[in-house]
Amino acid sequence: MNETEGGFAGIVCKDGTRVVTGDIRLTGVGLDRVQFFLFGRELDLTKIAQSEELVFETIASLIPTEITSNKVVWMSDFRANMRMVNKFGEGRVFVAGDAAHGWLGMGLDSGVQDAFNLGWKLALVEKGIANKSLLETYSAERLPVISEMLEVSHAAQDAIKV
Ligand SMILES: Cc1cc2nc3c(=O)[nH]c(=O)nc-3n(C[C@H](O)[C@H](O)[C@H](O)COP(=O)(O)OP(=O)(O)OC[C@H]3O[C@@H](n4cnc5c(N)ncnc54)[C@H](O)[C@@H]3O)c2cc1C
């Protein structure tokens, strides 16, 4: 944990799983394009990420369906690290979404919830209907939610890692 007095600090929760993701064009399953996610200790992701053929072979070996992969449209190799800020707001500055927390999944969903939590409070304070102290509840409410979401996500990620 990197605390900085009075300011925002990033907290790296966990070193995440390495993932190769991308879109492929295919025929045979009623769809012409799908996004794939490849991860797992038994896969040589460095090698797979460099070869369209290896991506096709790996996908074919993992799913019991007859498909023909035609083309990798795009592909990216990344590490799904988990991180979050130590607070969601300081004075007139607020963070939400990926600026406040990050992991592979649920970032969009939880980012929208951040914005919803903050939005109506900003509107009431701006209109003079609520006291400024209402804005302090944004950080107080979102920190535990995001922290728990990341913990649950990490447990789920560990459970599906093979
Ligand atoms: C492979 C993958 C799969 C995912 N799957 C899911 C999922 O299933 N469900 C889910 O809920 N989430 C998922 N996510 C996460 C989700 O995509 C992100 O959490 C979400 O898009 C973050 O939205 P955001 O608006 O916070 O940030 P961003 O989408 O990153 O938006 C930030 C914007 O700010 C702009 N910007 C940056 N710097 C500046 C600057 N200096 N000035 C002006 N503009 C700037 C950027 O260009 C960008 O447009 C996934 C992410 C990945 C990578």
Q: For the chain, what is the domain count?
A: 2
Question: Which residues are CB-neighbours of 128 under 8 A, at least 6 positions away?
Answer: none
What is the tens place of the pLDDT at every residue in 46-84? Answer: 999 999 999 999 988 888 777 787 899 999 988 877 889
Cα 99 to Cα 38, 51, 77, 150: the distances in Å are: 26, 33, 21, 15
The two three-digit tokens of residue 96, written as one number: 């939400």
Pocket test for ligand 1, best of 94, 108, 142, 153 (most atoms within 8 A of CB): 108
DSSP category for residue 40: -
> Quick one: which atom of ligand 1 is closest to the CA of 110?
11
Based on the fold, state whether residues 64 and 99 are members of the same structural domain: no
Statement to judge: residues 66 and 107 lie in one domain: no
* Lowest pLDDT segment from 6-15, 33-42, 47-56, 140-149: 6-15
Collapse the DSSP code of 63 into the 3-class scheme (helix H, G, I; strand E, B; otherwise coil) and give the result: coil
| 141 located within any domain | yes
40 within ligand 1 shell (Cβ under 6 A): no
Q: Do 68 and 36 belong together in one domain?
A: yes
Does one domain contain both 52 and 115?
no
Answer yes or no: is the C-beta of 81 below 6 A from any ligand 1 atom.
no
How far does CA 160 lie from the centroid of its chain?
A: 16
Judge whether 5 lies within some domain.
Answer: no
Output the CA 103–ligand 1 centroid distance in Å: 11
- Residues 85 and 145 occupy one common structural domain: yes
Using the 3D structure, point to which of 50, 79, 108 is the last residue of a domain. Answer: 79
Query: Are 87 and 24 found together in one domain?
Result: no
* One domain for residues 100 and 125: yes
Q: Which residue range(s) make up the domain with 97?
A: 10-14+81-160
pLDDT in tens, 78-107: 887 788 999 999 999 999 999 999 887 788
Query: Are 86 and 147 members of one domain?
Result: yes
The DSSP element (H or E) to which 157 belongs, if any, is: helix 136-160
